[in-house]
Amino acid sequence: MQNTLYYFVVLSAFFLVSAFGQLEECFNHWDSNKDGRVTIEEFPGGKENLEYFKLIDKDNNNSISKEELRVLLETSQPQGASNNASGENKALEQQMLQFRGRAEQLEQENSLLKRQIAEKSPSLDAQRQIPQLQAENQQWRKQTEELGREVQVLKSQIAQLQTEKTSGYGTQSLQRENQQLRKQLEDMGREVQSLKSQIVQLQNQLAQANKKPLPIVPQNPTVPQNPITIEETIANSVKKPASPAQDMLMAEEAARLDALRNLATQIRGNWIAACSQNIDAQNRLVVIGMLEPTNLVGVSQMESDFDYMTGMVSVPVQISRANIIESIRRGNPNMTAEDYQELRFMFPEFLTAKGYGAWNNNAQKRLMGFYGAQLDARRKLIEHLRGFVIKSSSRMENFVLQNHQVVVSIESTLLIGVNVLKEEIISNAIAQTTIEITRAMFIYSMRKGLEANGLQLTPEEYQNLRNMLSQDKYQFTGKSAVQ
Q: Indicate the SS3 state at residue 269.
A: coil
Domain C-terminal end among 101, 127, 153: 127
Asked whether residue 382 falls in the same domain as residue 259, the answer is yes
> What pLDDT is stored for residue 148 in this prediction?
78
State the total domains in the chain.
Answer: 3
For 230-297, strand residue ranges (E) read: 270-279, 282-290
Residue scoring higher pLDDT (2 or 259):
259
In a domain, residue 151? The reply is: no
> What pLDDT is stored for residue 317 in this prediction?
92
> What pLDDT is stored for residue 318 in this prediction?
92
For 215-331, strand residue ranges (E) read: 270-279, 282-290, 300-301, 305-307, 312-320
Asked whether residue 312 falls in the same domain as residue 431, the answer is yes
Asked whether residue 190 falls in the same domain as residue 338, the answer is no
In a domain, residue 158? The reply is: no
The CATH number for 69's domain is: 1.10.238
In a domain, residue 141? The reply is: no
Q: Is 101 exposed, middle or buried (0-12, 13-18, 19+ CB in 10 A)?
A: exposed
Domain C-terminal end among 223, 240, 257: 240
Dist. CA 30–CA 53, nearest whole Å:
12
> What pLDDT is stored for residue 217 in this prediction?
42
In a domain, residue 143? The reply is: no
Asked whether residue 210 falls in the same domain as residue 350, the answer is no
In a domain, residue 95? The reply is: yes
H/E stretch holding 13 = helix 2-20
Q: What is the domain range of residue 347?
A: 245-481
Kindly state the average pLDDT of the residues 367-371: 86
- Contact between 474 and 442 under an 8 Å Cβ cutoff? The reply is yes
Give me the amino acid identity at 339.
D
Asked whether residue 99 falls in the same domain as residue 40, the answer is yes
Domain C-terminal end among 97, 127, 157: 127
Residue scoring higher pLDDT (420 or 138):
420
* Mean predicted lDDT score pLDDT of the chain: 76
Dist. CA 363–CA 7, nearest whole Å:
118
Asked whether residue 302 falls in the same domain as residue 424, the answer is yes
Asked whether residue 232 falls in the same domain as residue 270, the answer is no
CA dihedral 101, 105, 111, 114 (to 10 degrees): -140
Asked whether residue 308 falls in the same domain as residue 427, the answer is yes
In a domain, residue 155? The reply is: no
In a domain, residue 366? The reply is: yes
Terminal alpha carbon distance of the chain: 121
Radius of gyration of the chain (CA): 50
Asked whether residue 317 falls in the same domain as residue 451, the answer is yes
Contacts of 261 (CB under 8 A, 6+ apart): 291, 355
Dist. CA 330–CA 326, nearest whole Å:
6
Asked whether residue 272 falls in the same domain as residue 352, the answer is yes
> Is the overall model pTM greater than 0.75, yes or no?
no
In a domain, residue 269? The reply is: yes
Asked whether residue 331 falls in the same domain as residue 346, the answer is yes
Asked whether residue 210 falls in the same domain as residue 99, the answer is no
> What pLDDT is stored for residue 76 in this prediction?
52
Count the neighbouring beta carbons within 10 Å of the beta carbon of residue 449.
20
